[in-house]
Amino acid sequence: MRVLRQTGLVLAISLFASVAQAQDDPTETVKMVFSEHCARCHQDGSLEADREKPAGGFGYVMDLDALARNPEYVQIGNPSASEIYTRIVNQSMPKDIDYVSILGPTADELKAVATWIESLSEAATAMAASRTFIDDEAVLKAMNDDLLQLSDFERPRMRYFTLTHLYNVGDTDKEMDIYRQALSKFLNSMSTEPGIVVPEAVDEAKTVFRVDITDLGWSDATWKLIEDSNPYFVEYDTPIMTSLQNETRAKVPFVRADWFAYVASQPPLYYDILDLPDTKAALERKLGLNTDTNRANLRVARAGFQQSGVSRNNRLIERHTMSTGAYWESFDFAGNRDRQSFFLNPLGPERAFGAASNGLSFVHDGGEIIFNLPNGLQAYYLTDHLGQRLDTGPTQIVQDPSRRDQAVTNGISCMSCHSDGMQFKDDQVREYAMSHSAFDKDIRKIIEEIYVPKEEMQALMKADQERFLSALKLAGVDPTLKLSGEEIVSVLFLRFERDLTMNQAAAELGFDAETFRERLNQGSAETFALKKRLEFNLVPRDQFVELFAGLVNEITDHHATDLRRDKAQIAGNRPESSKRFNLALFPNEDPSRFRVGAELTFSVLAEQACYLTIFNVDEKKRTTVLFPNKFNSNNYIEAGRTYRVPGNAIGGFKLKFGDPGRETVIAKCNASGNRTRGIEHDFDASAFTTFASYDDYVTRAVDPRRRQIIVTDDSDSTTARPDPHVDVIAEKAVVLQVRP
């Protein structure tokens, strides 16, 4: 590629790093790299001792086939667009390296990872090609045919849930089976009726399921809550759609199962469907329970412990008996000292045990409530210290490592953690208190009564767990079924959350990928820009949701409406906690114009304000930093603004293809400051910063010596310490094939 100064100065440049010296089969090397550096946080069965769940909901780093099928982690043939690779290069992973006892992957190890990514083929595409594509008309017909077999009395109660788009895009048979069981588990987890409901498949491929909503205890008003959360409502221009609406008496007779698992497993819809009130006191009244009376009568069973899967400090759990089974309440703390220690103050909360508890009541900061639904499954409720309902728990008290933002979100986080029902925990308070001379005889008697022996608590937990597991089996759910250690409703939740490829976007609009591309070509300039973006990038879920209705209205004969009353229900990432934000990079010209001598421009769009660096890597593997450069060194870009490079805001140079072959263009944007590790510009010496290869740049970027400060004491010894700063970096890369 050539960079031309607008005054006419021609600079020849070329780039991209050979990622590795050729290896016949890099798979075994990559497994060794991931085992050494990634498995302790991201492989179910190999997690470090203090980690109960895989980080970020990603627990299959050693399953290279599954990893390669997830475009959020691996972009086939393009290492620099693959998060599994770029997050190591940008030093946001591994998070626990200390550069003394634990080092991150070396540059040579990264070469092996890159070579493996380049060698992959599209397994998901092959799976999708092996199936008969199910179009929207077939889905509507399957529902309508099923509905018309029922009586006039039954039809208004029926609603449908679809998984067809995931089948069409090529999700594996194993994954589809997990989604089906997850739908059954989740629907029953949202039921207020004593019976178990098994969704019935109404099509041959088992992608469309019927449910009688009254069997779940739902009314038309309950379904209206779901309708009012739906961004995907399509009014199909066909008599079958009219029939479905008339027979069910519902504007929205069906919804997508993955979207439903995502939106209804979180507040506000989770609380609304289960009709859970705003305060703990009101919840107890609704359930016919009085925990204060139970404590006064010592009719509770407690266990306190210092280690918990979600709580950052000590945690106490307390069990009450209720008509449908058990009501468990946890007491969580922001610290472990003074009145936040139930080892020193075991009789809280305030006034729980009358005058005897004076001076010995702990002060907690919040808690979680788990109680049995009438069908034996569990419902969840988060509170603050005053008993006010919360949507998410404060991250300084509790964390969910499987979520991108680490936040414990009521509903989905609790389901993920309690995949088998109640978790077994051994009490540590009883033994401590019984041997502690600071507690008088009367206090020790109370403690002995409420902090029950371990055997008794385990028996209670086991009975509650069996109730939960029995209900799952009745729902047709295998209680042991997980996907790489992840609970199945969470699997379906995370599947929806995933960013979209071209194929996924097409399937969600009811098209195969080729037809979708053709329709996008016929659309507006904005629609064509989306096509360009999807050809080279993933599109974040929250952004696609905002585009969906407009796309349907523009490129189909149907009419779509975003019915959401709360537009924040489909939220994007929280970069401040997840160290992620989205960056779009795509060429503005059609690939047919990628010829030697042709000019090239890019569009860049960042979700956060950041400092942009653009690399170019050519067929000869040499690397040049296109931007910033001597002619335009101000690389700050604003959030949400599309920049044309080169263009008015980022100009002073032009880009032209100089040679035929493969060109890789990589954009990095740092939201933490104006630096890109491994690069030191000297525009007085050279207009453009260059590297012998991209490997050379990677080696400089990951060199551990560049990430340490040296502390020297009087004995002249040195100790390495890590730089505590972790940059928040987004990265995208596109591969261009240039013809003579």
130: number of Cβ within 10 Å: 8
Distance CA 427, CA 119 (A): 52
Q: Helices 239-248 and 136-148: crossing angle, nearest 10°?
A: 40
In the prediction, which pLDDT does 99 show? Answer: 45
Backbone angles phi, psi at 43, to 5 degrees: -135, 115
Question: What pLDDT does residue 344 have?
Answer: 79
- 441 pLDDT band, cuts 50/70/90, is confident
* pLDDT higher than 70, residue 397: no
- pLDDT confidence bin for 726, thresholds 50/70/90: low
What does the alpha-carbon distance between residue 525 and residue 168 come to, in Å, rounded to a whole number?
A: 28
Q: How confident is the model at residue 369 (pLDDT cuts 50, 70, 90)?
A: very high
Alpha carbon distance 672, 667 (integer Å): 16
Q: Which residue has the higher pLDDT, 124 or 388?
A: 388
Task: Mention every residue, 6+ apart, whose C-beta is less than 8 A from residue 508.
Answer: 165, 232, 500, 544, 548
Highest mean pLDDT among 63-67, 194-198, 563-567, 735-739: 194-198
CA nearest 160: which of 201, 198, 105?
A: 201
CB 570 within 8 A of CB 263: yes
> In sequence order, what are the beta bridge partners of 734?
665
| Ramachandran angles phi, psi of 134, nearest 5° | -100, 110
Over residues 399-407, the mean pLDDT reads 65
pLDDT at 319 over 90: yes
- CB contact set of 264 (below 8 Å; sequence gap of 6+): 186, 190, 226, 229, 270, 273, 411
pLDDT band at 102; cut points 50, 70, 90: low
pLDDT band at 207 (very low <50, low <70, confident <90, very high): very high
pLDDT of 221 higher than 90:
yes
The pLDDT of residue 678 is above 80: yes
Whether the pLDDT of residue 418 is over 80: the answer is yes
Question: What residues pair up with 379 in beta bridges, in sequence order?
Answer: 371
The tokens 């060429």 sit on which residue? 587
Whether pLDDT at 588 is above 70: yes
Least confident piece of the model among 94-98, 458-462, 468-472, 617-621: 94-98
Question: Which amino acid, 196?
Answer: I
CA distance 230 to 562: 6
DSSP assignment of 651-674: -SEEEE--SSEEEEEEEEEESS-S
The per-residue pLDDT for 347 is 84
- Which ranges constitute the DSSP H helices of 38-118? 39-42, 64-69, 83-89, 107-118
User: pTM for the complete prediction?
Assistant: 0.86
pLDDT of residue 550: 95
Tokens representing 713 are 């004491």
Nearest Cα to 323, choosing from 296, 287, 352?
287
Checking if the pLDDT of 98 tops 60, the result is: no
Average pLDDT of 141-146? 98
Percent of the chain with pLDDT over 90: 52
Q: Which of 265-274, 283-292, 385-394 shows the lowest per-residue confidence on average (mean pLDDT)?
A: 385-394
| CA–CA gap between residue 681 and residue 625 (Å, rounded) | 9
The rounded distance, in Å, linking the Cα atoms of 588 and 290 is 65
Separation of alpha carbons 612 and 625, rounded Å: 11
**Of 457, 471, 455, 277, nearest in space to 372 by CA:** 471
pLDDT number for residue 64: 85
Distance, in Å, from the CA atom of 458 to the CA atom of 426, rounded to the nearest integer, reads 8
Q: Average of pLDDT values for 338-363?
A: 73
For residue 401, what pLDDT band results from cuts at 50, 70 and 90? Answer: low
Compute the distance between CA of residue 385 and CA of residue 350 in angstroms, rounded to an integer. Answer: 11
- Which two structure tokens, joined as six digits, stand for 509? 């609009």
Residue with tokens 């929207």: 136
Instruction: Please give the share of the chain, as a percent, with pLDDT higher than 70.
Output: 86
Q: Which residue has the tokens 């980080």?
A: 55
pLDDT at 250 over 70: yes
At residue 343 the predicted structure's pLDDT band, cuts being 50, 70 and 90, is: confident
| pLDDT computed for residue 716 by the predictor | 40
Tell me which of 259 and 359 has the higher pLDDT: 259
pLDDT number for residue 310: 57
CA distances from 324 to 287, 467, 472 (A): 9, 10, 16
Residue 576: per-residue pLDDT: 43
CA angle (239 as vertex; 233, 244 as ends), nearest 5: 55
What mean pLDDT do residues 220-235 have? Answer: 97
Average pLDDT, the chain: 85
Residue whose C-alpha is closest to residue 179's, from 169, 189, 171: 171
Q: Tell me how crowded residue 324 is: count the other CB atoms within 10 A of its CB.
A: 18
* pLDDT confidence bin for 101, thresholds 50/70/90: very low
pLDDT (0 to 100) of residue 93:
77
User: What is the spatial distance between Cα 379 and Cα 326, in angstroms, rounded to a whole number?
Assistant: 11
CA 495 to chain centre: 8
Counting every residue written for the chain, the total comes to 740
How many CA atoms lie less than 13 Å away from 637 in the CB half-sphere? 32
227: tokens are: 């309708």
**Average pLDDT for 316-336:** 91
Average pLDDT of the segment spanning 664-673: 91
